[in-house]
Amino acid sequence: MSTYTQILYQIVFSTKEREPVLLKENRPLLFKYIYGILKNKNCHLYRINGVSDHIHILTSLHPSVSLSSLVKDIKISSSVFLKENNLFTGFSGWQEGYGAFTYSFGEVNILIEYVKNQEQHHKKITFREEFIAMLNEQQIRFDEKYLT
């Protein structure tokens, strides 16, 4: 029998210290680079977007890929890429942790729109507020001292 999965992940992480260094004009290069990582790992990217201090990746993972190793690869590789190409002045790396939330595939279109509209969304809510709302929605217990 073959392996069949259909797990939709929204992966979210911010820049180190939530520095607002991801300037809009160079974000497409970052997103294209991350898309390449996902493609090389046989993952399907539905949408990627972000604002000056964090990004959202909506993807499904190939069954042979672990979530933690994928996020680690994305963060390390993209960090090197950004620094070597000096795409974002002041970029010193990504935050230590990340959020990864699973959703029913029936929600894919709603999630695509949510990720697509990050600029509009963050005119009303901060990243911290958004992240806490995601944790609460998924009923994930957390310690606020780690959300600074």
Q: How many CB atoms within 10 Å of residue 101?
A: 17
Element (H, E) at 37: helix 27-40
Along the chain (148 residues), what's the average pLDDT of each consecutive run of 10 residues? 87 96 97 98 97 97 95 98 95 95 94 95 91 92 82
Please report the pLDDT score of residue 3 as a whole number.
84
Does the pTM surpass 0.85? The reply is: yes
- Residue 1 within any structural domain of the chain: no
- Residue 130 within any structural domain of the chain: no
- Residue 22 within any structural domain of the chain: yes
Please report the pLDDT score of residue 144 as a whole number.
84
Show the domain range for 93: 8-125+135-147
CATH at residue 80: 3.30.70.1290
- Residue 3 within any structural domain of the chain: no
Please report the pLDDT score of residue 15 as a whole number.
97
- Residue 51 within any structural domain of the chain: yes
- Residue 94 within any structural domain of the chain: yes
Please report the pLDDT score of residue 30 as a whole number.
98
Distance CA 39, CA 115 (A): 19
Q: Provide the number of structural domains found in the chain.
A: 1
- Residue 85 within any structural domain of the chain: yes
Please report the pLDDT score of residue 148 as a whole number.
66
- Residue 65 within any structural domain of the chain: yes
Please report the pLDDT score of residue 88 as a whole number.
96
Please report the pLDDT score of residue 4 as a whole number.
84
Instruction: Considering only the C-alpha atoms of the chain, give the largest distance between any 2 of them, rounded to a whole number of Å.
Output: 50
Q: What are phi and psi of 5, to 5 degrees?
A: -140, 155
Please report the pLDDT score of residue 32 as a whole number.
98
Give the residues across from 100 on adjacent strands: 11
Please report the pLDDT score of residue 42 as a whole number.
95
